[in-house]
Structure 1
Amino acid sequence: MASYGQIGSLNLTSWIATSYFLTLTSFQPLYGKLSDIFGRKPCLLFAYTIFGIGNLGCGLARNINDLIAARIFQGIGGGGMTTVVNILMNDIIPLHDRGLWQGIINIISATGAFLTQFPICVVAFLAVNSMLNLPAQDDTNWKQKLQRVDLLGATVLVGAVLGLLVGLDRGSNVSWSMPLTIISLNVSGLLFLVFILVEIYLAAEPFAPGHIIFNRWMAVIFYTPLYFQAVDGVSATFAGVRLLPSTLSGVSGSLLAGFFMRRFGSYYWLTIVGYDCSTRGCFLVYLSSGGAMVNDSVNMVLGTVVTAFGGGIVRSPDILTQYMSSLYLLVSSASVEDRAVVTACSYLFRSLGSIIGLSLSSTIVQQLLRNRLRSDLHDTGSRSIDEIVNGVRESLEYTKQLEPDIASIVRNCYGWSTNKGFGFLTIVVFFALISAFFMREAKLG
């Protein structure tokens, strides 16, 4: 994650995450129904295969277009891994023990870069294929099973999410008044409405049924290494080293939450504490990135540690954005036949939150960066403002080619714009804390 500042087209790097979330979000709810139709084991093996190949493609990517394409493919498998694994845990592990197992999985998910995860996927595939023995879900042939899949709903959902991402990206990088931006955002809103109608009225076996539909610190992690590289001038490797404490903190928070829920069978106040830590941590990151303190990297790292610890308490293991205790609320409140679909739908809405949160924060950072660069560079009388603005928004390496006084302006602009992005995320997490107080708790029997 910390090395993306070196691959060029820096203004498109939010797509490294959002392209993954696009297919992840679209396929997560579909896996819930597919696992009921085709069985848990075949779906999990398929997910491991696609995710492993996607990891290999990411590790071998040589430019941002290759990386984004590989991430799109990887998300198809990632959606199945997160969803089917949790569905299996719902099937075979008592709810009061789920937190402990969730924390153990969190340790595994927090390790390894793209290439190192490929052999892990191979080992996981072989282990599941040989050791996981489950009764068959259905004895009908594959054609009959395929007819039960809600392909229309899945297609509409992909279009809705894609329209949202394209609209936000074009608006922040080009213009909010350009036709593509306006059309994309309007079509996205319409397709989200169509998706709901399809699931309620048209789909024979919807993967997001109406009775379930109506019953964010990803961007902090994404933009913190960019801040370290653009403002502090450190290497991608050292920026990654600065994030290691937050990784360990997140794993610790998840394990602590697991032991607590196993011991007391309760998660309400645990969730409140988790969101409170995340809010305080995000606020500290905001303050130490220019909100009150001037480039205080030590406090920024401390802020990510506190945020990750709180996130580990309320977060599911796959991508640091999916809230563990709220998933227990849904699962413990659902009927047995609905649990697979409930699990998948919970991942759908959490991933949508990740996409929207990251896209909005990217929009804020890119828009403010572009405007601030033009304003500050105009005051210097530079004749190549457009070239500088485009160059530094595509690659941090371009900054090294600039005169020292211009490079200093660029670093200040990066620091200022990312600081405002952190401020936006602090507000979002704070409202998540407020909403957590209204959560109902079900007994983990």
Structure 2
Amino acid sequence: MVTIIVPLVLGIFLAALDATIVVSSYTVIGSELNQLQSTSWIATAYMLTATSFQALYGKLSDIFGRKTCLLFAYTVFALGCLFCGIARNMTELIAARALAGAGGGGMSTVVSIILSDVVPLRSRGTWQGILNVIFATGSVTGAPLGGILADSIGWRWAFLIQVPIATLAIVAVIIFLHLPHTDHSHFRAKLRRVDFPGAVLLILTIFSMLFALDRGGNVSWTDRATIASTLVFLVSFPVFLFVEFRVAAEPFVPLRLVGNRDLMASLMTNFWQFFTATPVLFNLALYYQAVMNLSAGQAGAYLIPSVIAGTTGSLGGGLIMQKTGKYYRLTVAAYVLFAAGVAGTALNTGTAKHALVWFVVALLVQGIGGGTGVTTSLISLIANAGPEDQAIATAGSYLFRSLGQVTGLAIASTILQDVLRKTLHHRLHGQDVDEIVKRVRESLAYLEELDPESRGIVRYSYEHALNTVFWFTAGTAALALVSSIFIRETELGKR
């Protein structure tokens, strides 16, 4: 197991590191390339391709083999990071991030699929918990490392430093990862099995949907690009379903999976959990700064309990499943805690004192519940999928998580901006309201330029808008709990 885990751990660590190492470098990158207004696309381009390609890796790993797909993912990711490091302008950097995303989307997915192949299902949760600890370590390491590199030897090294790590992962896969060959057919024969029309339509469908959600939530729902991408999605999605259900011999999304209640319950639980958790953390950081006047560093520090609780819950849930061989009651209990934690955050943002200790308590409860639930729901998904559908179901879990994240952020952003704008217009009387509203929505630094009375109104408006968002997420957390109730128990000791 050690020789198998080493190349898998490197990929998980790298995926987590990449997710946060660039965050602290955005301002420096945008300023040096004279494109500060375009820096959000560094993250968006990666997210769009990573999620779009994520859904393909399950079926492709069945056709070409796990090791081949993992090597492909690591190689494409490494090339993307290399091109990011030598990019001459923002356009090249965004294109390179998109390339890296095509590889990054497969790293966590294929690793999870391989783990399902080599680990008994009863022990699968424990190993998933260990990988989640590695992921958390990479996430925590990334942001400060990116900032240090950007301030010392330059932002390009935030990308270039990942190339040797990815190369080491590739070498480790080649040397240590020895998996049994299940298909000895010629490469051309394997290529003929690929559902190319389905692959193109799936990428187009997911890409257009995510682009529309991201653009609508951050720019405008009436923007031409938002409308155009929405129309592309509305056309490509039904065509994709037709191809998968009626035409493709080996579809990426078999009809038997879509009609399986047990699998869909697990997938929807994943969707609603990440739909909820990502906006909560994102907007709680904003709440700390806009309402409680904490620095960015302080805001980040007060989010750390969520990471610690999440990894603890994930590992603890895995150990409990390994001991008992059951997951249903544990899953439902986990999402009760998850929903309670989110509701606690909503309640605390509606009080006058804004006690930090209660925010920490709520995050701990939410983190333990969410960390446990994400592991147990994955095990329930694998347990209820047939042997031939293991890889596709696992890839589906990661896809639904990503879709939940993007959809949740987009809708939460829309709610926040709409309520904030209306509240500011209602409370700012006899002043240059439109200019203040515009500047406040662009940068929190503008608060320091306002007089004390206006600053107080703006902080109250942020509090009201964010409280609305948190109550919305409390409702979607309840949907995660409801979805978990429909998961079916399967005896893990038999697998």
TM-score under structure 2 length normalisation: 0.77
Tell me the residue number matched to 2:130. 104
Unaligned stretches of 5+ residues in structure 1? 316-323
8 Å contact from structure 1 (residues 253, 312) kept in 2: yes
Deviation at 1:392, TM superposition (A): 2.8
1:95 Cα deviation after fit: 0.1
**2:460 is the counterpart of 1:412:** yes
Letter in 1 for 2:240: F
- Residue 310 of structure 1 aligns to a residue in which SS? helix
2:447 aligned with 1:399, yes or no?
yes
The residue number in structure 1 matching 2:249 is 204
- AA partner of residue 39 (structure 1): G
C-alpha distance in structure 2 between counterparts of 1:438 and 1:103, whole Å: 23
Q: 1:360 and 2:411 equivalent?
A: yes
Show the counterpart of 2:477. Answer: 429
Deviation at 1:181, TM superposition (A): 4.4
Structure 1 residues 46 and 173: CA distance shift in structure 2, 3 A? closer
The 5 Å alignment of 1:3-402 reads 7=27, 19-52=45-78, 72-111=98-137, 112-113=141-142, 115=158, 120-172=165-217, 175-177=220-222, 180-215=225-260, 216=274, 217-289=277-349, 291-315=350-374, 324-377=375-428, 379=429, 381-383=430-432, 385-402=433-450
Shift of 1:56: 7.4
What displacement does 1:180 show? 5.0
How far, CA to CA, are the matches of 2:348 and 2:90 in structure 1? Answer: 30
Identity %: 47
Aligned-partner Cα distance in 1 for 2:86–2:332? 41
Show the counterpart of 2:270.
Answer: none
Contact 2:48-2:211 at 8 Å conserved across structures: no
Name the amino acid aligned to 1:342. Answer: A
In structure 2, give the amino acid aligned to 1:351: S
What TM-score, normalized by structure 1, do the two folds share? Answer: 0.85
Contact 1:11 1:173 in 2 (8 A): no
Q: What is the one-letter code of the residue matched to 1:312?
A: G
The residue identity in structure 2 corresponding to 1:126 is V
Cα separation, 2, equivalents of 1:414 and 1:391 = 14
C-alpha distance in 2 between matches for 1:156 and 1:327: 26
2:4 corresponding residue in structure 1: none
Deviations, residues 263-322 of structure 1 (Å, cap 9, x unaligned) = 011100110111011101101111112x2444333322221221111111011xxxxxxx
Instruction: Please give the alpha-carbon distance, in whole angstroms, between the structure 1 residues aligned to 2:178 and 2:100.
Output: 26
Q: 1:232 to 1:282 in 2, by over 3 A?
A: same
Q: How many residues align?
A: 433
Partner of 1:321: none
Cα deviation, 1:193-245, whole Å, max 9, x if unaligned, reads 22222211222321111111221312212222122222223222222111111
Match of 2:12 in 1: none
Q: CA RMSD of the aligned region, Å?
A: 3.3
Distance 1:367 1:57 in 2: 38
| Change in 2 beyond 3 A, CA 1:331/1:171 | closer
Residue 142 of structure 1 deviates from its aligned partner by 4.0
Are residues 58 and 441 of structure 1, via their aligned partners in 2, closer, same or farther at CA, if it must alter by over 3 Å? Answer: farther
Aligned partner of residue 232 in structure 1, secondary structure: coil
Q: Which amino acid aligns with 1:348?
A: L
**1:136 Cα deviation from its structure 2 partner:** 3.7
CA distance in 2, matches of 1:50, 1:230: 39
Question: Aligned equivalents of 2:376 and 2:304: distance in 1?
Answer: 24
Q: Unpaired runs of 5+ in structure 2?
A: 1-19, 147-157, 261-273
Conserved in 1, the CA contact under 8 Å of 2:335 and 2:481?
yes
| 8 A Cα contact 1:12 1:394, kept in partner | no
> Do the aligned partners of residues 55 and 308 (structure 1) sit closer, same or farther apart at CA in structure 2, a change above 3 Å counting?
farther
Contact 2:74 2:170 in 1 (8 A): yes
Deviation at 1:427, TM superposition (A): 0.4
Structure with the greater relative contact order (CA < 8 A, sep ≥ 6): 1 or 2? 1
